[in-house]
């Protein structure tokens, strides 16, 4: 029976861990000037161009992700391009809602599109803009962390002065966790690990974009 007890203990811990709010203060109660920017990608600050590698079992996709805010309608466009410049997928993002503009047949897979929407939503969303969501804040020098629940998922954003947001965790149950590791020491590198056999995505910022 011992293995079952251990399993029960682990499951219970996991559920408890996932179900309880972390110790800390409500972010909304913080002084505004103390609140760091927890938004990983601020599309209003310019055009982001990423070299993209999507690794699945037996399927590898590479290309370029372009992330750009369109001033005219305040939307953000996320376009996946092939290396030779052809459009593979085009998404429009505004107020946490995505619209699929176009997608090539071979990428037209609901699970893949859903995954990309969730990932770019996590990267583009400003947690401070979420209405009606309690955001818990914790400082553990030199790190700061926020946690909140949104759309049945639990998010943890880790921030460090000088590094910005360097890690995000998104949980949608005790066994489903996606982690985003963000390294800005050189060109920004974002590694998205969906866990298990799900795809890994690596985004490497391409710093140069010519006018």
Partner 1 sequence: MNLHMQILITKLAMFFLLVASLPGTYAQMTGNGYQPVEDVEKVIERLNKSSREIFSIKSRFTQKKQLDFLDETIVSKGSFWFRKENSLRWAYTEPFEYVILLNAGKFTIIDGSSVNEYDIDSNAAFREINDLIIGMVQGRVLEQGKFEIEVFENGSSYLVKLVPRDPGIRKVISGMDLTFDLQDLAVTRIVMYEGEKDYTVITFTDKRFNETIPDTIFSADM
Distance CA(64)–CA(80), nearest Å, equals 6
Q: Which of 24, 61, 177, 191 binds partner 1 (CB under 8 A)?
A: 61
* Contact between 86 and partner 1 per CB under 8 A: yes
Q: How many chain residues touch partner 1 (CB under 8 A)?
A: 32
Least separation in angstroms between residue 42's CB and partner 1 is 17
* Contact between 100 and partner 1 per CB under 8 A: no
Q: Which is nearer to partner 1, 68 or 139 (CB)?
A: 68
* Contact between 79 and partner 1 per CB under 8 A: yes
Q: Concatenated DSSP letters for 111-173?
A: HHHHHHHHHHHHHH--GGG-TT--EEEEEETTEEEEEEEETTEEEEEEEETTTEEEEEEEESS
Distance CA(204)–CA(178), nearest Å, equals 18
Is 169 exposed, middle or buried, given 0-12, 13-18 or 19+ CB atoms closer than 10 A?
A: middle
Q: Which is nearer to partner 1, 56 or 130 (CB)?
A: 56
* Contact between 30 and partner 1 per CB under 8 A: no
Judged by the rule CB under 8 A, the positions of this chain that interact with partner 1 are: 47, 49, 51, 53, 58-62, 64, 66, 68, 70, 77, 79, 81-87, 104-106, 204, 206-211
């Amino acid at each position: 029976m011992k293995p079952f007890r251990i399993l029960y203990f682990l499951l219970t811990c996991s559920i408890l861990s996932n179900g309880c709010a972390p110790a800390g203060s409500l972010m909304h109660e913080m002084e505004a000037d103390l609140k760091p920017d927890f938004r990983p990608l601020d599309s209003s600050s310019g055009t982001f161009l990423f070299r993209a590698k999507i690794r699945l079992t037996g399927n590898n996709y590479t290309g370029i992700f372009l992330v750009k805010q369109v001033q005219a309608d305040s939307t953000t466009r996320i376009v996946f391009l092939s290396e030779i410049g052809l459009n593979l997928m085009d998404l429009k993002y505004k107020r946490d809602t995505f619209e699929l503009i176009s997608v090539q047949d071979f990428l037209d897979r609901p699970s893949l599109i859903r995954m990309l929407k969730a990932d770019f939503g996590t990267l583009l969303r400003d947690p401070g803009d979420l209405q009606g969501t309690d955001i818990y804040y914790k400082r553990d020098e030199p790190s700061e962390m926020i946690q909140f629940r949104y759309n049945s998922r639990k998010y943890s954003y880790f921030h460090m002065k000088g590094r910005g947001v360097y890690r995000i965790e998104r949980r949608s149950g005790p066994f489903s966790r996606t982690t985003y590791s963000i390294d800005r020491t050189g060109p920004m590198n974002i590694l998205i690990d969906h866990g298990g056999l799900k795809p890994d995505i690596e985004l490497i910022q391409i710093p140069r974009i010519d006018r």
